[in-house]
Amino acid sequence: MFKSQKIYIIGFMGSGKSTAGKKLASLMGWTFVDLDKNIEEFAGKSIPEIFEQDGESSFRQIEAKILRNLNSLNHTVISTGGGTPCYNDNMEYMLGTGLTLYLKLTPGQLKSRLSKSKGERPLIKDLGQGQLLSFIEKKLADRERWYDRSDIIIEGIGLDVNMLLENVKSRLNI
Ligand code: S3P
């Protein structure tokens, strides 16, 4: 059996982690958990409110704590936030406790997806359209050193969830 029965979906903001995670969980008959939603429930406020009122470092502390609180769950697909792997040894933790799966998109693909949903994301909400692409390029180049350590790296655009399912099953030996 592969580590514990958990799959972590990793990737930049806007890469479709929750959508892919939900589909995969449903095909596997596993539970789906959205880490950002659990953070909001724990804090009793939205992610933009946490960033505004308490600051990013407080958000990162809660994120690491909630991630570890999910440890007892089995047969669960967890979609993480774009920054999750990059703070507080979270990537190390996820590699040790489940199967990690990086949904990879190019900066251009991310930009066209994120331009529609900037407002709900504190790190990019104040960027103009002209600044968005260079922000993504820089941030992604920085973050890929964590993302690239994932057990499975898969293209996020045109994702075939049934193929992904077979890949995951063979990795998990189920
Ligand atoms: C963040 C991504 C967000 C959320 C928070 C910080 C990041 O999640 O966790 O706004 O640092 O990239 P999504 O990747 O689901 O947008």
Q: Tens of pLDDT along 73-96?
A: 999 999 999 999 999 999 999 999
List b or e across 89-112, with b for residues whose CB sees 16 or more CB atoms inside 10 angstroms.
Answer: ebbebbbebbbbbbbbbebebbbe
The per-residue pLDDT for range 37-62, each reduced to its tens digit, is 999 999 999 999 999 999 999 999 99
pTM: 0.96
For ligand 1, atom 4, which residue shows the shortest CA distance?
81
Beta strands 6-10 and 99-104: pairing type?
parallel
For residue 13, the 8-state DSSP code is T
Q: Give me the sheet containing 99-104, strands edge to edge.
A: 31-34, 76-79, 6-10, 99-104, 152-155
Which residue's CA is the nearest one to ligand 1's atom 9? 81
Q: Which of 17, 36, 58, 114 to mutate to test the pocket of ligand 1 (most atoms within 8 A of CB)?
A: 36
E strands, the chain, are 6-10, 31-34, 76-79, 99-104, 152-155
Residue 16 Cβ contacting ligand 1 at under 6 Å:
no
Q: Tell me how far CA of residue 109 lies from CA of 21, 24, 56, in angstroms.
A: 19, 22, 26
pLDDT category of residue 116 using cuts at 50, 70 and 90: confident
